[in-house]
């Protein structure tokens, strides 16, 4: 019940931010390409050799003085890129708020790995299990602070926090494990901290490059268009 209330509060926050900011004089819309998101880095770590057992799929047993460990091992095969769109409103000359909607996709092969160890010998047996596709959609409000703001070049920092939804589809599995539709598996808090962002170009059309960590990636680049009302242009 508390979790549901938190989700409703966040949805109301999104709506409130949108209503309060529609009247702002300067607005930004941006398309970004993120590189190495938090989701990708976490899965890459879980897929590494020193951490190949998922806790929820791990079993341990001792039979006839033989230690048997059975776990699911993932092999990440997707690329570390994803896409997002930003819409922001300036609240003054140096501060602004906005929303980011993003999509990330993780594809991985899954294997059943069995390790058997006894006093005399040990061996490992690996069998292909299937392929898991994880689709991630996230929505996060953002706060933006400009360190330097000029007509053709600006420097800024930003922080975002919102919700992440995971949709998973299992293919190439046996009939019991396979899922033909992408079902939602979990929702969780998702954040992005960008201490340094750079943008440059014309007064209205600019390219941008962000450096940070979180759901939007370690590095993010893209294009941005700036809308300005006549009143703000005259100032």
- The parent domain of residue 172 ranges over 2-49+81-108+133-234
Q: Answer yes or no: is 89 within a domain.
A: yes
In what helix (H) or strand (E) does residue 8 lie, and over which residues does it extend? helix 2-21
Q: Answer yes or no: is 186 within a domain.
A: yes
Beta bridge partners of 34: 82, 220
Q: What is the predicted pLDDT for the residue at 217? A: 93
Q: Answer yes or no: is 158 within a domain.
A: yes
> pLDDT tens across 151-204, in order?
899 999 999 998 898 888 776 655 555 455 555 566 788 999 999 999 999 989
Q: Answer yes or no: is 125 within a domain.
A: no
Q: Answer yes or no: is 73 within a domain.
A: no
Q: What is the predicted pLDDT for the residue at 1? A: 43
Q: Answer yes or no: is 173 within a domain.
A: yes
CATH of the domain at 163: 2.40.160.20
Question: Which stretches of the chain drop beneath a pLDDT of 70?
Answer: 1-24, 47-71, 113, 115-116, 118-121, 123-128, 171-186, 230-235
Structural Rg of the chain based on CA atoms: 23
Total number of domains constituting the chain: 1
DSSP codes of every residue in 170-216: EESS-TTT--SS-EEEEEEEEEEEEEEEEEEESSSEEEEEEEEEETT
What is the pTM assigned to this prediction? 0.73
Residue 102's nearest CA partner among 155, 46, 131, 142 is 142
> pLDDT tens across 136-152, in order?
999 999 999 999 998 89
Return the structure tokens found at 166.
Answer: 């995971």
């Amino acid at each position: 019940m508390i979790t549901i209330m938190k989700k409703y509060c966040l949805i109301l926050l999104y709506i409130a931010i949108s209503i309060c900011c529609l009247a702002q004089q300067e607005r930004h819309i941006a398309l970004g390409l993120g590189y190495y998101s938090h989701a990708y880095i976490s899965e890459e770590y879980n897929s590494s050799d020193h951490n190949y057992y998922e806790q929820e799929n791990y079993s341990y047993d001792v039979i006839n003085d033989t230690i048997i460990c059975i776990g699911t091992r993932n092999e990440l095969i997707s690329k570390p890129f994803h896409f997002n769109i930003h819409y922001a409103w300036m609240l003054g000359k140096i501060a602004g708020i906005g929303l980011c909607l993003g999509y990330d996709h993780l594809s991985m092969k899954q294997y059943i790995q069995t390790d058997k160890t006894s006093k005399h010998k040990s061996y490992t047996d690996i069998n292909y299990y299937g392929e898991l596709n994880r689709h991630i959609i996230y929505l996060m409000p953002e706060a933006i602070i400009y360190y330097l703001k000029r007509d053709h070049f600006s420097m800024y920092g930003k922080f975002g926090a919102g919700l992440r939804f995971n949709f998973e589809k299992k293919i190439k599995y046996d009939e019991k494990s396979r899922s033909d539709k992408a079902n939602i598996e979990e929702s969780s808090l998702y954040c992005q901290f960008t201490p340094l962002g750079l943008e440059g170009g014309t007064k209205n059309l600019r390219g941008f490059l962000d450096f940070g960590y979180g759901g939007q990636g370690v590095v993010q680049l893209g294009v941005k268009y700036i809308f300005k009302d006549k009143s703000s242009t005259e100032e």
